[in-house]
Amino acid sequence: MNYGRRSMGDQARYSPQGPRPLEDADRDAAGQPRVVRNSEGALITRPSPARFEPLIAPEQQRQLIALLDERGGTQRGKPRSQDPARNPLGSRVFDLNCTWPMYRQPCGGSFRYTCGLYMQSHGARCAHNHLDGPTAVRFLLSCVRQRVLAPRLLAKLEARLTELARQDSAEGTALQELRAKEAALVALKGQREKVERNLALAETPEQYRAVAAQFENFKGQEKRKSVACGAGREGRGSASRPKWHRR
């Protein structure tokens, strides 16, 4: 039994010695992770026999695996589409007769959903065939629209959106105030450091006392601004935490 024929992780990849970082060969021309097929020498092999009798004969299993490899040869190495618009109802359409999922199939310049049991049994175990894809999507959107635009739900939805907009506006104002305080704190630090350098260059006691007074003034302002910025960060952090309600 072999394991690890393909690698597709975006953080680390499989190797017989354990996880490894991604290499140049694991990325496409745009730098995005791609699915790679590992060589035979990089597979994990289990040579010892299983401790139970196989459900099918080993020779029949080898023939089945060879047949599956032959059927999937044209699709091997091709990544699945990441565009939800190409399959808007993927894994959400089921045949009401046999309850099997219906899978997307290209059909001319469009697409359709076909019953999985119908395809696997060649029409012997399910009487349904296919459903036009765009028609199914329009039907679902009309059902969602009818549900959302119901008078009672529409009022609740409008109230919820208004509340979310109010929270976003309040958080945006608080964030602007916090950034202004942080910018003022940075400016005060720069002024305090400049006065500190001048304090070391004072030549007379009068100069030293004058510069020292400025230094203490900037130091006090910096401390107050630091406290204000810390309080602003804590308040923003608590406001952004999710609120859980018991239903």
Q: How confident is the model at residue 79 (pLDDT cuts 50, 70, 90)?
A: low
Tokens of 236: 């923003």
Task: Give, as one character, the DSSP assignment of residue 67.
Answer: H
Of these ranges, 59-63, 80-84, 172-176, the one predicted with the greatest mean pLDDT is 59-63
- The pLDDT of residue 80 is 63
Round to the nearest angstrom and report the end-to-end CA distance of the chain.
Answer: 50
Mean pLDDT, rounded, of the chain: 78
- Decide if pLDDT at 247 tops 50: no
Residues listed for the chain: 247
Alpha-carbon span 149 to 156, nearest angstrom: 11
| Burial environment of residue 95 by CB neighbours within 10 A (0 to 12, 13 to 18, 19 or more) | buried
Give the predicted TM-score (pTM) of the model: 0.39
- The pLDDT of residue 232 is 63
If one compares 87 and 111, the residue with the highest pLDDT of the two is 111
Query: What mean pLDDT is predicted for residues 165-179?
Result: 75
Rg (CA), the chain: 33
Alpha-carbon span 9 to 95, nearest angstrom: 33
Query: What mean pLDDT is predicted for residues 27-54?
Result: 79
If one compares 206 and 81, the residue with the highest pLDDT of the two is 206
From the CB of residue 218, how many other CB atoms can be counted at a distance below 10 Å? 19
- Decide if pLDDT at 241 tops 50: no
Alpha-carbon span 235 to 239, nearest angstrom: 6
Query: What mean pLDDT is predicted for residues 104-122?
Result: 88
Alpha-carbon span 40 to 4, nearest angstrom: 10
| Burial environment of residue 168 by CB neighbours within 10 A (0 to 12, 13 to 18, 19 or more) | exposed
- Helix H or strand E segment including 230: helix 205-240
